[in-house]
Chain A
Amino acid sequence: MRLVAKLKSLQRDWVSWVPTLWLGVFFLIPFLVVLKISLSQATIAMPPYLPLFDWVESALEIRLDFGNYLFLIDDPLYGAAYLESVRIAFVSTVITLLIGYPMAYMIATAREPRRTLLLLLVILPFWTSFLLRVYAWIAILKTNGLLNGLLMSLGLISEPLVILQTDLAVYIGIAYTYLPFMVLPLYASLSKLDRTLLEASEDLGATPWISFVTVTLPLTIPGVIAGSLLVFVPAIGEFVIPALLGGNDTLMIGKVLWNEFFANRDWPIASAVAIIMLFVIVGPLMWLNRINSKTEEATS
């Protein structure tokens, strides 16, 4: 009997080992490799950095170089790029949330089969290439593009607006690209919401708006946090959208990383940039996760 129990617990363990193994192979090991490179010195060779571990006279020699990190702290460019990335990601996330919430609300309250159709429409853009869709925005936003053409022909503006190569274009690009990541978790938590709670609040004298603020919104906070994280985190490291839609002064950390890696071929600096970015993201992530589990506990 004990053997059977032991086998069963092994089986259970095995199930939890699969995701652990997955994370180990595809996250932890690459992370350690990047960490290792970030602590080594750049050189002109293949690969373009010096090894960390060396056998000198049959003794292991470890050379850790924290110079890369010191360099990043010293040069104000990097700090500015981090702050700028967080700011742009934050603004974009707020915009995405403001667009995504009403959309998710509308979908969640729609009747079948309309509901499925609307959900499908949200996911549909994924079927075309991401790059292509961002290029399409250039055609829309540029000075003699579709948007300016439309606004001018309607007589709303007399001179074309400069949108492309500004932060605004980056916000639009990020909000557009990441909208489904915002809408889907919001939809999930809105459709889970018990409609009789809204009837109860209405019954007790709450207008629809007060019902929304006091009942719907607090109960869908987990969806708001999940959606915001899914937009905010990748937006910080976003490279393609600021590169294509942003201006030269749009300094995001993804672009810096690209420059260090490909233009300067300085792998150790690029790796250090990546490692710091990870910590920049992990901080707020853990904090939000704690709030999330707290509200989820309260609403379950």
Chain B
Amino acid sequence: MSSSPLLVKNWLDPEAKPFIEFRGVTKLFDGIPAVRDVNLSIYQNELFCLLGGSGSGKTTLLRMLAGFDSPTEGSVWIDGVDITQVPAYERPVNMMFQSYALFPHMTVFDNVAYGLKRDGLPKAQIAERVAELLELVRLSAYAKRKPDQLSGGQRQRVALARALAKRPKVLLLDEPLGALDKNLREDTQLELIKIQESLGMTFIVVTHDQEEAMTLATRIGVMDEGYLVQTDEPHTIYEYPNSTYVADFIGDINLFECVVTENDAGNLVLSAPQLETTIELDDPVVGAVNQTLWYAIRPEKMRLTRDPSTAVNALKGVVHEIAYLGDFSVYWIDLANGFRVRISRPNISRMDDFAEAWGEEVWITWDGSAGVVLSQ
């Protein structure tokens, strides 16, 4: 979805004015940091995902934007205005809560109308707007129901309609699809993108689900222990992670500790003891001789063959385990020194050559540009 033709990649333009800014934001809870020195710029019409494990600080960051928590240090800006001290009820931001937080004593209609009533809009106008929103989330027939008479998916849509009602400048979504089952979740993801594009609103989504982040996001901010460790487009995050943490957190990866043995004008040769071999890199990488680096390579970027390979990057091993996952299979290959490499192969034919290759001796090969070198 990140390749939508409508999308303007504002973050690539150094002149572009950020719409939302966190400037040096730190948040302590009882002296314990939840968010540490986060600097982040989000641009208009982005669908930005904050991705991280539990306790990584992603929800706290979102709550500081909504106004439920205030930063211990730093400031938060929306559309060029410092809103750090503005109370939540005056911020041009609305949130869709993880638990949906629908008012149990109100009907669907009253839930959606709640924010509009606070603005003191005339009744007819409120009714019109609510009808429009219920149409958008396909719940027009349920206006008179109470939340406890709805299914999980319906509640989620009411929560979305309620959060959209006031046409906020920014919509915050805290684990919006967490409670939905897989099929419904995929449908809803696409629907969210559609709504976001048609309304031209800025969405910020907090999630722990990397697949969800990859599907939704124009850009992803990966958080770990309160730090924002990498902010990039999904493709960049996956193919060019900036640290072993990000590489390991997003998708699967094989990480090898290496030492630089040669540096021929940027073309490095690495010695990887775990691989009992040297790695020649095609891409120029910064690194001094004797420096310790990590070589990271995704399982799908390695190939399996039975013939002894003469390729530059080739290793011999024994198939330890095979996991058949339907669309692809994962192979764990034990190298002679005991190090285990993970390789994935798409199941292009119904009976793959390696489908029953337990215990067989195989060769692993990969291209010089398949992996990334990480210094931290």
Q: Are B95 and A203 in contact (CB under 8 A)?
A: yes
Is the C-beta of B157 less than 8 angstroms from some C-beta in chain A?
A: no
A-contact 0/1 string along B66-108, CB 8 Å cutoff: 1110000000000000000001111001110101011111000
Is the C-beta of A207 less than 8 angstroms from some C-beta in chain B?
A: yes
The answer for the CA separation of A295 and B105 in the assembled complex, in Å, is 8
Q: Are B89 and A298 in contact (CB under 8 A)?
A: no
Taking CB atoms and an 8 Å cut-off, the chain A residues in 175-231 that contact chain B are: 194, 196-197, 199-207, 210, 214-215, 218-219
The answer for the CA separation of A123 and B67 in the assembled complex, in Å, is 37
Q: Are A194 and B118 in contact (CB under 8 A)?
A: no
Chain B interface residue count: which class?
20 to 34
Smallest CB-CB separation from A210: which chain B residue? Answer: B118
Is the C-beta of B11 less than 8 angstroms from some C-beta in chain A?
A: no
Q: Are B89 and A202 in contact (CB under 8 A)?
A: yes
Q: Are A204 and B115 in contact (CB under 8 A)?
A: yes
Footprint of A on B, CB under 8 Å? 66-68, 87-90, 93-95, 97, 99, 101-105, 114-115, 118-119, 146, 148, 162, 165-166
Is the C-beta of A259 less than 8 angstroms from some C-beta in chain B?
A: no
Footprint of B on A, CB under 8 Å? 194, 196-197, 199-207, 210, 214-215, 218-219, 295, 298-300
Q: Are B104 and A204 in contact (CB under 8 A)?
A: no
Smallest CB-CB separation from A295: which chain B residue? Answer: B105
Smallest CB-CB separation from A201: which chain B residue? Answer: B114
Given A196-B99, A300-B148: A202 touches B105 (CB 8 Å cut-off): no
Smallest CB-CB separation from B68: which chain A residue? Answer: A199
Q: Are B66 and A203 in contact (CB under 8 A)?
A: yes
Q: In the assembled complex, which residues on chain B have CB atoms less than 8 Å from the CB atom of A201?
A: 103, 114
Smallest CB-CB separation from B112: which chain A residue? Answer: A204
| B161 to A: closest C-beta gap in Å | 12
Q: Are A215 and B89 in contact (CB under 8 A)?
A: no
Smallest CB-CB separation from B120: which chain A residue? Answer: A205
Smallest CB-CB separation from B115: which chain A residue? Answer: A204
Q: Are B105 and A203 in contact (CB under 8 A)?
A: no
Q: Are B101 and A197 in contact (CB under 8 A)?
A: yes
Given A207-B89, A298-B146, A300-B148: A200 touches B119 (CB 8 Å cut-off): no
Q: Are B115 and A205 in contact (CB under 8 A)?
A: yes
Smallest CB-CB separation from A205: which chain B residue? Answer: B118
Closest 4 CB pairs of A and B: A204-B115, A205-B118, A200-B101, A196-B101
| B310 to A: closest C-beta gap in Å | 62
| B223 to A: closest C-beta gap in Å | 21
Q: Are A202 and B101 in contact (CB under 8 A)?
A: no
